Amino acid sequence: MKFTEEHEWLREEDGLIVVGITEHAAEQLGDVVFVELPEEGTEVAKDDEVVVIESVKAASDILAPIDGEIVEVNSVLADEPAKVNDDPLGDAWFFKIKASDPSQMDDMMDEAAYKAFIG
Amino acid sequence: MSDLRVTPLNALHRELGAKMVPFAGYDMPVQYKLGVMKEHLHCRAEAGLFDVSHMGQVILRHPDGVEAAALALESLVPVDVAGLASGRQRYGFFTNEAGGIMDDLMLANRGDHLFVVVNAACKEADIAHMRAHLTGCEVEEISDRALLALQGPKAEAVLEALVPGVADMRFMDVAIMASEYGELWISRSGYTGEDGYEISVPASEAEEFARALLSHEAVEPIGLGARDSLRLEAGLCLYGHDIDEETSPVEARLTWAIQKLRRAGGAREGGFPGAERILAELSDGAARHRVGLRPEGRAPMREGTELYAEAEGGTPIGRVTSGAFGPTIEAPMSMGYVPKDVSAEGTQLFGDVRGKRQPVTVAALPFTPANFKR
């Protein structure tokens, strides 16, 4: 598993990269009440805003961590946004991306580095 | 951080695991371990304890008695203060010369004096305003007391066990009661739409009193986050957001707080700052109104969202002044100002959310029915 400074996690699964947010991010957001997901098939570039999350506190964006095509989104989150707080590392993944340049992940943090990053 | 003031319950908040934020110059709990959503629902179902000690508590006295103090205060608020019976409380607001709202407040007749509670962010200005204009009145800021709110359907049973007699109070009654936590100044009121009490307690006893309330299984501590969503569901204004120095009480649809006696033709007509505009709007109507708004879907329409009459094009006709997700109604909710001709319930408007026009319907306030013991 890899982590970004934007508090996303990336996990490789069947040749795709699954993306979600970390427990730390979910806790900082507070109760999530709305998730807007991108359309499947969307081509994205690293740092494009792809997901909007609204919590009881504020709206925030999730950025595409790498270039590629969004091939699947977790549409359950649209109806059950609270899953993001309940299981951010598991059930509440946001989208799966077909990476056009997997080497973009090479410089990302591993779990130990991310833990150090959030202090 | 070092400039932030603390309430007498600061250590208790930290012990309870609160997330602390700066609010109106105070270090305040925005949420505890339950989180905003569960705290909100708990307060509606059982009872919630809020620290509102940052608010201003003020006693007004006049050497000629409470009626003289009341008549003096009437020069600053468009409210029938002198007609308020002993032991009763009323909502009101300080108006400015332009007919806008300087602050909203609770005022109570406590027999031989008035007790006033004002917003934290405005309290210094309010006290200066009262000292400047309430000729002959003594304006005493109470700084050695905490203020707690116990709100929710179980508030009565919880408080009655500690302070026998409070169950007999009606909505907007006030009472001074002796207790093992010192003298308590109690009102049956709040800012959630639920039944409940606001209790002023000596600062030295506040933590023990709060612990006694929290020891009841029905009571959870509630932070500012849920306080905001509770009051918005209840359709209550937040000063500085839904009402401010520009908005008149008529625009804000708070005319229920202006008794007939202070209106045109009343025995004590006018005589408050901005009376010209406010009385004119009372008879002719205001050009815009505060309304409830129910956005379609689940996305909240937050403060500052511009409102349009059309799905495309046009110019903004109004603005959202408060917006959040309502945990009880399980839907987003907002309040805002719109022109009178589109202020009827059921009118469809559009809010610009992240560059997209989202449908939103003008809705009745409150979003959740009030649960007061009248």
How many Å apart are CA B59 and CA B139, to the nearest integer? 6
pLDDT score of A58 = 87
Nearest chain A Cα distance for residue B371, angstroms: 24
User: DSSP secondary structure string, B194-226?
Assistant: BSEEEEEEEHHHHHHHHHHHHTSTTEEE--HHH
Is any Cβ of chain A less than 8 angstroms from the Cβ of B322? no
Contact residues, chain A to chain B, C-beta under 8 Å: 30-31, 33-34, 36, 52, 54, 56-59, 78, 81-82, 85
Instruction: Give the N- to C-terminal CA distance of chain A in Å, as an integer.
Output: 18
Distance separating alpha carbons of residues B91 and B215, to the nearest angstrom: 31
| Nearest 10 degrees: Cα torsion B220, B7, B107, B256 | -50
Is the Cβ pair A34, B300 closer than 8 Å?
yes
Q: What is the mean pLDDT of residues B339-347?
A: 98
Name the token pair of B82.
Answer: 């002198």
Ramachandran area for residue B152 (φ above 0: left; ψ -120 to 50: alpha; else beta): left
Each as own residue / partner, the long-range contacts of residues A20-28 (CB below 8 Å, 24 or more positions apart, any chain) are A20/A88, A20/A89, A20/A92, A20/A93, A20/A94, A21/A53, A21/A62, A21/A84, A21/A88, A21/A92, A21/A94, A22/A88, A22/A89, A22/A114, A22/A118, A23/A88, A23/A89, A24/A118, A25/A88, A26/A84, A26/A85, A26/A88, A26/A92, A27/A85
- CA-to-CA distance for B346 and A78, rounded, in angstroms? 26
Q: How many residues does chain B have?
A: 374
Mean pLDDT of B14-40: 96
The band of B2, judged by pLDDT with boundaries at 50, 70 and 90, is low
Relative to beta strand B356-363, strand B288-295 is antiparallel
CATH of domain B287-374: 2.40.30.110
β-strands B306-308, B348-353 pairing: antiparallel
Mapped onto helix, strand or coil, the DSSP state of residue B76 is coil
Domain boundary assignment for chain A: 2-102
Residue A56 has its nearest CB partner, among B297, B298, B325, at: B325
Contact A31 B37 (CB under 8 A): yes
Query: CATH topology for B10-52+144-233?
Result: Gyrase A; domain 2 (3.30.1360)
Q: And the tokens for A119?
A: 């202090």
ipTM: 0.85
Angstrom distances, CA of residue B332 to CA of A66, B108, B166, B328:
32, 35, 35, 10
What span, in angstroms and rounded, lies between the C-alpha atoms of B133 and B156? Answer: 38
Indicate yes or no: CB of B325 within 8 angstroms of CB of A57. Answer: no
Q: Please give the residue of chain B at the shortest CA–CA distance from A85.
A: B35
| One pLDDT digit (tens) per residue for chain A, 119 residues | 999 999 999 999 999 999 999 999 999 999 999 999 999 999 999 999 999 999 998 899 999 999 999 999 999 999 999 999 999 999 999 999 999 999 999 999 999 999 999 98
CA–CA gap between residue A33 and residue A81 (Å, rounded): 5
Maximal C-alpha separation, chain A: 37
* pLDDT single digits (tens) B204-239: 999 999 999 999 999 999 999 999 999 999 999 999
User: What average pLDDT score do residues B13-22 get?
Assistant: 97
> Does residue B1 register a pLDDT over 90?
no
Task: Determine the pLDDT at residue A57.
Answer: 86
Q: What is the mean pLDDT of chain B?
A: 97
Interface of B with A in 330-369 (CB under 8 A): 332, 354
d(CA B117, CA B94): 12
Contact state of A57 with B225 under an 8 Å Cβ cutoff: yes
B198 marked as part of a ligand binding site = yes
Contacts with A79 (C-beta within 8 Å, 6 or more apart), sequence order: none
Mean pLDDT calculated for residue range B160-182: 98
> pLDDT digit string (tens) for B48-68?
999 999 999 999 999 999 999
Q: B124: number of CA atoms within 13 Å, CB side?
A: 3
Q: Are B47 and B162 in contact, with CB atoms under 8 Å apart?
A: no
Distance of residue B302 Cα from the nearest chain A Cα, in angstroms: 8
Q: Of B35, B299, B302, which has the smallest distance from its Cβ to A36's Cβ?
A: B299
Taking only Cα atoms into account, the Rg of chain A, rounded to an integer number of angstroms, comes to 13
Contacts of B269 (CB under 8 A, 6+ apart): B261, B262, B263, B279
Q: What is the rounded CA–CA span in Å between residue A45 and residue A38? A: 13
By C-alpha distance, the chain A residue nearest B229 is A56
CATH classification of A2-102 is 2.40.50.100, yes or no?
Answer: yes
Distance CA B97, CA B355 (A): 38
Cα(B289)–Cα(B271) distance, rounded to whole angstroms? 24
Q: Residue ranges of the alpha helices (H) in chain B? A: 10-15, 36-45, 66-73, 123-133, 155-162, 203-214, 224-233, 275-284
CB B290 within 8 A of CB B112: no
Range list of H helices, A1-119: 23-29, 76-79, 83-86, 111-118
Sequence spans of domains, chain B: 10-52+144-233, 287-374
pLDDT for position B374: 86
Q: What is d(CA B300, CA A34) in angstroms, rounded to the nearest whole number?
A: 8
Q: Which residues sit opposite B139 in a β-bridge?
A: B60
